[in-house]
Structure 1
Amino acid sequence: MTRHIRAVRNFSEIAELIMVETAQPGDALARAFSETIDGFRIGADEDVTDAGMPDAREVELATELVVRTIFDVLRDTRLEPLADRIAWGVVHSLHRVAGQLDGDADKAAIRVRSLIREADGSEVATAELEEAQRACQSLDEARDAVACMRDHAAETYRAETGRPWSGPRGSLVSSKRTASVVAAGDFLAARRQRRVEAHSPQGPVVIFSGGQQWEDHACLTAQLDAIRARVPSMVLATTAQNKGCDAVAASWAARTGTPLVAFTLNRALGQRAGFARNEQLLALNPVEAIVCEGSGLQSHLARMVRAAGVPAHFFRLADQRLGG
């Protein structure tokens, strides 16, 4: 096995290296790289295998190394400005594979459902149903593992750039079953529930919106920290702009592990799109709100928040502590 050699210059770096080498993988990685079924096959043309999953810690280190190496080799060169774009693509490749596996698992689940309806109790039908269920569970297991690699790569990207990784569309969701499912009907119900929970994070909602021109991140993160101290199970809902206030909020959510729901504009609504998004945010029955000065959409949301009696914090551009 090829090992990556790292030079160390002082005692603090030696301590850091020992900590990295001896650390245990995170709970999510450890679960994602555990075997949840006996016999694994994700393709009809592949043989069933009882081979184990890769070592979770080795996967964690390898995934991080791939992303960090891009920044390391391009740093202080004329290609340094491209490092974040290349690293973004690495994370996106894992995201694409996880999505493909998810789609394959959905098709496999449809086949299981069809076989349940057509089951006649015969030995052949029972064997076919068991094989279809094995394929669906195998795809779920593979998808969870790749999604966890994607999440760790995304976290490494955030650590290097200071910005959360986000895909071109859709949600960034990963999960892991903690118990095997025996009955095919129960398996499908559990799978549906898993999808619902992953895409509908539970907890008190805090809504956040602000303009794209904003410099003082400290005042916003301080307010978010204060709310999270009072509401540790909060879910943050933003207006999903990729710069300015919303970008600060997304970065804070990634750093603190706070669930983030990004409300993008429905362009089909034309000029009403922004106002409709504000209405969606208020329909979440938020427990608190942060609104920063921006466009007329933020003014509209501020008026709605006040009218609804939602506890709110308003920030004006003039209030920024620039350079502080």
Structure 2
Amino acid sequence: MENYTYNSFILQLEGLNVSNESIYPVFLFFLFSYLFILVANVGIAVLVFTDKNLHQPMYLLFCNLPFNDILGNSIMVPRLLIDILRPPSERLISYYECVVQAFTTHMFGTTSHTVLMIMAFDRYVAICHPLRYAAIMTNKMVIKLTVSAWGVAFVLVGILLGLTIRLNRCRTKIMNPYCDNASLFKLSCESVFVNNVYGLTFTVVLLSASIGSIVLTYTQITIVCLTSKNKSLNSKALKTCSTHLMVYLIMMFSGMIIIILHRFPQYSDYRKLSAILFVLVPGSLNPIIYGVQSKEIRKFLFEMFCTKKCLASCKK
């Protein structure tokens, strides 16, 4: 018979099942991945805000992604690194810290969709209505889109977690390497029907809006490119849209792996690892993809390193 502990404020994380031989390689992999994410995303964000040539709506909207990647990884990876080095019995977390971690984790996933949606709108206006682009995508519009992306995510996730924290808890073990909404409401012995209904509705609405907006905008962009004989416009569309689409597909692919593995309980360890990679992979690849594809960013980096080399050679 299961022992129940009601409304305990100390919870236990199951964590990753890592063999003794793999502890340090796994620890170093996550550590260096996290450090790379911090350096790359902070670097890209600082670059955009300091270089006036990059003060364009496309890059200002993109800056939401580095901030979101830093936030999502910083709330999860440091705690994960500590738990890897601890024995399972010592992987304890307070209930309030767990709620904050769950809220931030879901904010990361939801904001990834909403930010890419407003970036799709920016590309649509730039390519389908180039003459009106400056009039539509003003600084005020960029601020409105950014606030909307984060505000919608905040409200949706706030309701999601609000429905969970109202429940009484009778269990203390989180069957995951980190806290999320599902892990939290599974601690309850009460009915979680409302949580399941809202969670399903939340997922369907978010994915429908996300996929729908991408399909709609890219359909319009494709039609314009096929009917236009402007090679310069088509080349610009191909470069900027391929970057945005690549980032979107990476995020969707990382998320779909988790959903698929949920259907196979025997692969729970792989599901846990994929849940961690869902945060690590986009955070690592997003700055690389935009840094390589963006002519302005490449030019800035080239000039910066060229100047340093010239100064070094002059000193010699």
Does TM, scored on the shorter chain, surpass 0.5? no
By relative contact order (CA 8 Å, sep 6+), the higher-ranking structure is 2
TM-score by length of 2: 0.31
Higher helix share: 2
Q: Which has the larger radius of gyration?
A: 1
